[in-house]
Amino acid sequence: MPLFGKKDSGKKLRKDTNRDIDKQIINIEDKYHLRQVLGNGAFSEVRLGESKENPGQLFAVKIIDKKALKGKEDSLENEIKVLRRLTHPNIVQLLETYEDKTKVYLVMELVTGGELFDRIVEKGSYTEKDASGLIRQVLEAVDYMHEQGVVHRDLKPENLLYYNTDEESKIMISDFGLSKMEDSGIMATACGTPGYVAPEVLAQKPYGKAVDVWSIGVISYILLCGYPPFYDENDANLFAQILKGEFEFDSPYWDEISASAKDFIQHLMCVDVEKRYTCKQALAHPWISGNAASSKNIHSTVSEQLKKNFAKSRWKQAYHATTVIRQMQRMALNSGGSSRNNTITRNDVEKQT
């Protein structure tokens, strides 16, 4: 039985949840050249896709093995349903979905700028203002998600990618494998990544949008010092810290950080859900909306701690999107073609699903 209840192989799945499924049979390889592997996961691989209609237009095609996915079909259906609902400049975009007898194909926009922490380490200068600008983009995207009734549930640095390699590139939220729509029922499942998960999730209480705000608080903390607010080799001890909301602004790492930044973080990482800021309240905080963020260069301290505390994520061991695209451009130039019209969009190189 096909995953989405269709009998014909190679069909293009509907783009809009309010429309009937498109009955026209289109094989994905009729529209795209599937090229190099960009990343691998437990149930999938991500390959570079080039449009046959517009040569040089590149995408990330996530190819999910149905056999490996057996028993977890609901999770994929949920991810697709969520992504179809979201259209925002800071959220990785699902463009098309296809299915044949053995695989499901998600055609995503391509991102080539790499991970958040890597870019910070590579910078020569980095300030609170930079961190504030990054968090503002994340808050705006998550606020939009929450307005659409979507809770991400797994916000963490690895899921924040730069759109491209430009100095002023925007940041993108990816990986919606654990996201959930509020109207799909009470959320009480313990999920997420331990160091970023909200206390109410660990306490196995029903929870909602506020879990994302907590995670943004954790990310904000790391962006200003380079190490996590909660850490212990023993998960039980780690969870105990999170449940109590026990974290410090340690000296000397926080000595030069503004009082406004600390106040902002305390309002996001607040154990009492009723007192925790919403995204809108966080966006109105002076550290985000005003001039409270310091312009002092904190790069040396933060980058040193980031290198010490955060290893490369698993997918980066695979072929990096930027490397692949540069090779393709060189080949085009060497063969007398032009890479001038290459459209580099976004890369959803995820390690899950």
The answer to whether residues 6 and 100 touch, using CB atoms and an 8 Å cutoff, is: no
Measured distance CA(217)–CA(268) in Å, rounded? 5
CA atoms lying within 13 Å on the CB side of residue 302: 30
Q: Residue 156: name the closest of 112, 199, 117, 109 by CA.
A: 117
- To the query of whether residue 154 is one of the catalytic residues in this protein, the response is yes
Q: Which residues pair with 12 in a beta bridge?
A: 98
CA 232 → CA 118, 214, 217, 239, 247, distances in Å? 23, 19, 19, 9, 12
HSE of 36 in the Cβ direction (CA atoms, 13 Å)?
Answer: 14
User: Could you say which of 154, 175, 212, 348 is catalytic?
Assistant: 154
Reference 319, options 292, 276, 349, 298; nearest CA is: 349
Active site residues: 154
